[in-house]
Each structure stands twice: as C-alpha cells, then as structure tokens.
Structure 1
C-alpha cells in the first residue's frame, strides 16, 4: 500500500510538472489505433445490422479493457520483482504509465490556448484560430461559434474533463493501491488506471448517439458511465471545500445536484454543475453535434455568462482540488507508514 500510494503521488506530481511530452509514446494513441482498426472491421462485417453492431461494440470494449488491464498488470509485476535494477526500472515505468493516464497539465494548457487565441476586437481570422484550438478539446460543432459561446464551451470542457482526465483516474489508482494492500498479485494502480483510460477512450471515440455509433458505442459508453459515477460524485462533495466558505457547502451541493440531474448524462451534468456553482458561471444551453441541435439544461442560471476570468477560475479550482486529493493520499500514506 505504501509503495502504491507513493507511485500515485509521484505520478500526479510528474503530470502537473511535465504533462504529456510530445516525444513520448502515449497509451491513448495506441488505444485509439486499435479502436479504429476494430471499428473498421466490425462495420465491414456488421454493416447496418443493429445486433451485429452492438455485439461488435461489446467485443471492442472487451478487447480494449482486457489488453489494457493485462498490460498494466504485467508492468506492475515486473516492478514488484525482487531484483534491484529491474524493480527500479519497473517503478520508473509505472510512474510514467500512471502519469500518462492523468491530464491535468495538458487540459490546462489546451484550455488556456483557446483563451489566448481569442481576438481583441473583431478580428475574424483570430476568432477562427480560437475555434480551431477549441475543436481539439470538444466534440461539438465549433465553426460558427462566437466568442461568448467559445468561452462557454471552454468552461464546460474544463469542468467535465477535470473529472474524466484527472479525478476519475486518481480515484481508480487509489482503488488499485487498496487491492495491493490485500495482495500484490492482484491488479494494482496502473491496471485500474489503464482500464479506466481505455473505457474513456472508447467512449470519446465511438460513444456517440448518431449513425452506427449509437449501437456500436453502447457498451463502451455504459462502462464509462459506471466507472465515472463515483468519482464525479466525490468531486461534487469535495470541490466546495476548496472554492467557497464551508457554510455554503450544503446549498452548493444541493443546487448542483438539482441542476446536474436534469442532464441526460449521469456524470457530465453533475461534474459541470458543481463547477458552475462553485466558480459562479452560467453553463448549458444550445449545442450542435454533427449539425444536430442539442439543448442542455442550464446550470447556475443566475450566474454571469462565461468569461476569460471565470474559465481561469475553473482551471484554478481544479488545481486546488487536485492538490487537496494528493494531500489526502499523503495522509493515507502517513497512516500506513
């Protein structure tokens, strides 16, 4: 348990300081290639047959989860071998692997890049650059968005992806660490983190509600909902601790729960809602996905519209909450020493 929690803390620090180096191979890139390949063959075999697409999607999900978990477990077992050099190298690989499942620095930099690209005045060319940078981090149609909508999209993706990219992986790392407290033969922090990352990647690539993907991505989307359910609710309970006076905590949680529960997603609505209320920024409204209009419930509707200042406030809240989570992990580590 001590070793596993130490790995989690070091990997979180590495992610905050370094992020994802462009020169380093990233697990998500390999997952994405495998998903694309499996999807191509599945669609070729199933065509428009709904049952075939559902079964194919289930198979894609199983293969990705199994291979990701097996890879994590194999690397963990190498690090646990009682040979000094191999154990040392294995620990470094585990730390890099764990850090690669976190996205604190990359999320922050991606959102800030959108804000920095926003024009001062009516510079249409600069606005187009901001839209392009936004398209890298959101799934909605961005090419007709004006500055106010770009800011709202940045606020919403900074909120939702904080859970998907930081707090959910951290949660599953801690679960993996607790498994090692039972036996180091069991799956550990990297296994659980990679399984979650595989689920999240499947959902982001094929978990859509249009075309063949509404059947092909069902299994992956449902699994991602299950794996994100607890972390999103822990964020609901803990974000007010680093954002508002404690006496406001009950009302913030209640308001966020009421607003977020109206969203069709069991987790995204909750995640965005607690950020909306804690950062005091209005979210939700009309979005377009694949040219199809979707109306999301309004969150913190009495708060001001998103601004550069409020988006940065969301990013800073995420940073504070991650430090709080790391501090809690450190307390657990001290308890087991």
Structure 2
C-alpha cells in the first residue's frame, strides 16, 4: 500500500503542481484507487479460500488466515514499544540516540531533542493511539465483515473490509499532513480515516474501563476521557490517548515539535503521574486483554 501511495503521490504532484483544486481531486482519486484495490484484493482472497473448485482448502484457508493476521498490528506495535524501552540507557544522562531512533519509527514528531521523560511520553501516546488505529479499528471492520457473511458469503467479508480500512489508515499516515501539497492532496484520505475510526474509537472508550477499573467507574472514566480528548483537533486520536491515560493511570499530552512547527496538545489525565516503563507495560497489557475480550464477544455474538 505504501509503495502504491508513494508512486501515485509523485504522479499527482507532477500533474497538479501547486494547484489546490487539482490536488484535492487527485487526493480523492488516490483514495478511491487504494481503497477499492485493497478491498478487491481482500475479496479475491476470500473467494479463493471459500469457494469450492478455485483452490484446495489447504492453500486457501491458511492464505486467508495469514492475510487477516496482517491487518492487525498488535504484535508489531508491542515489538516497537519494547524496542524503545530496551534502548533507553540504564544510567541517568546516558546516550539516548538509539532510543530516539527507535521512537522515530512510530511517531511523527521531531525526536532529535527529546529527553528520556519526553521519549517515554511520546511512546505512551503512540502505544495508545496506535492501539485503536492498528488493532481495534481493523478488528472492528473484520467483525463487521464476518457479520455480512451471515447474510451471504458472496458479500465482501472480514479481509476485504479490514484491508480497505488499512488502506485508509495508511493514506492518512503518509499523506495526512497539513503542510505543502499534502494539505490538499491528503484531505480525502484523512477524512475517510477519521470516519472509519470514529465508531471503533468510541467502542474502545466504552470497553477499556471494563478490564482496567471497577465497573462502577465506567461513566466517570468515559466522561473524563471525552472531556480531555475533545480538546484535540483530531476526532479520534485525543480520545484514544485519553481513555488509555485514565485507565492506565498515566499523564499524556504537552508540547510537540513537528519540523519547524510547535503544537501544544491537550493534557490528558493531568492528575496522574508521568509516563514510565511500568505505565507502558500497563498500556500494552490493556491492549492485549481488550483484544481478547473483543474477540470473545464477537465469537459469542456470531
């Protein structure tokens, strides 16, 4: 997906130049091509796995399972977070260059001047936001696709919908920046990603407190996360981080640098202590437990 986006971006910029209208139209076309292409590829693998006479079961079913697993980033997210933690120096004032390098792979902010506490905060925020984007949103669309199969297995199923979502998420991560030509070219992909993540994000807000705190605290936690997260310009990112901040007991938010631009993000769970390695482990554990709960609920309903 990333390779296709890269080539289509270069083509669009060569044709549209710096003309906003043409760049917006190009962004819509890129989004349509990538979403439809990814969904069609997923649907084709589903047909290969399920329709008799196309491929033997020993080939089609494992291919479908592997493809579905590729849409969930729980393992890679955990691995990336742990690589940052492992790279942190054991002594105060140690070399942070390796930790900054590892962090740069999972965040969009400038990491070159971050101290250890800022590295930990950035890692915690990335672990929370990417849990929704990389785990629960694609899992949600997989479950919707599985539900459609109950109507007819000729419809696009879990892989087609999951890969369509991953396409929108990849578009947002590569083109969704408010700078240069991307402020027009990336609009369509970013808006679509916001739309497709909206409901999964709210479901995480409702279910994460159930596995982290006494159930009677759910209304207060959800309201606190909504109050904090609503201050973020993103309809989903701030709320994703806020519910994790309140449930894991870790303060997030603050000033971030993106190139030459400084952005003040809202403070989340301000009464909680700042991020530390234990807080990051709690966030990862909550993600693993909630993923299991979602799958169990889905199996019970389906």
Structure-1 residue corresponding to 2:237: 268
Q: 1:240–1:249: 8 Å Cα contact kept in structure 2?
A: yes
Q: Distance in 2 between matches of 1:43 and 1:69?
A: 25
Q: 2:49–2:55: 8 Å Cα contact kept in structure 1?
A: no
Q: Does the residue aligned with 1:232 lie in a helix, a strand or coil?
A: helix
Q: Distance in 2 between matches of 1:224 and 1:253?
A: 23
Quote how far apart the aligned CAs of 1:217 are. 0.2
User: Residue deviations 1:105-139, cap 9 Å, x none?
Assistant: 110010011011111224543x1000000001111
* 1:33 counterpart = 2:13: no
Q: Distance in 1 between matches of 2:179 and 2:55?
A: 51
Alignment of 1:146-185 (within 5 A): 146-185=115-154
Alignment of 1:106-121 (within 5 A): 106-121=76-91
Structure-2 residue corresponding to 1:11: none
How many residues are paired up?
Answer: 302
Q: 1:102–1:166: 8 Å Cα contact kept in structure 2?
A: yes
Structure-2 residue corresponding to 1:18: none
Compute the TM-score of the two structures, normalised by the length of structure 1: 0.88
Q: Distance in 2 between matches of 1:310 and 1:80?
A: 43
Gaps of 5+ in 1: 1-30
Gaps of 5+ in 2: none
Structure-2 residue corresponding to 1:102: 72
Q: Distance in 1 between matches of 2:260 and 2:231?
A: 23
Alignment of 1:31-180 (within 5 A): 31-83=1-53, 86-125=56-95, 127-180=96-149
Quote how far apart the aligned CAs of 1:83 are. 3.7
Q: 1:288–1:294: 8 Å Cα contact kept in structure 2?
A: yes
Q: Distance in 1 between matches of 2:299 and 2:10?
A: 45
| Alpha-carbon distance change, 85 to 54 in structure 1, aligned in 2, over 3 angstroms | closer
Q: Does the residue aligned with 1:264 lie in a helix, a strand or coil?
A: coil
Q: Does the residue aligned with 2:56 lie in a helix, a strand or coil?
A: helix
Q: 1:81–1:87: 8 Å Cα contact kept in structure 2?
A: no
Quote how far apart the aligned CAs of 1:88 are. 3.4
Q: Does the residue aligned with 2:199 lie in a helix, a strand or coil?
A: helix
Structure-2 residue corresponding to 1:189: 158
Structure-2 residue corresponding to 1:312: 281
Q: Does the residue aligned with 1:90 lie in a helix, a strand or coil?
A: helix
Quote how far apart the aligned CAs of 1:143 are. 0.6
Q: 2:253 aligns with which of 284, 289, 307?
A: 284
Q: Distance in 1 between matches of 2:73 and 2:59?
A: 23
Compute the TM-score of the two structures, normalised by the length of structure 2: 0.98
Query: Could you tell which deviates more after superposition, 76-85 or 262-271?
Result: 76-85
Q: Distance in 1 between matches of 2:117 and 2:34?
A: 38
Structure-1 residue corresponding to 2:271: 302
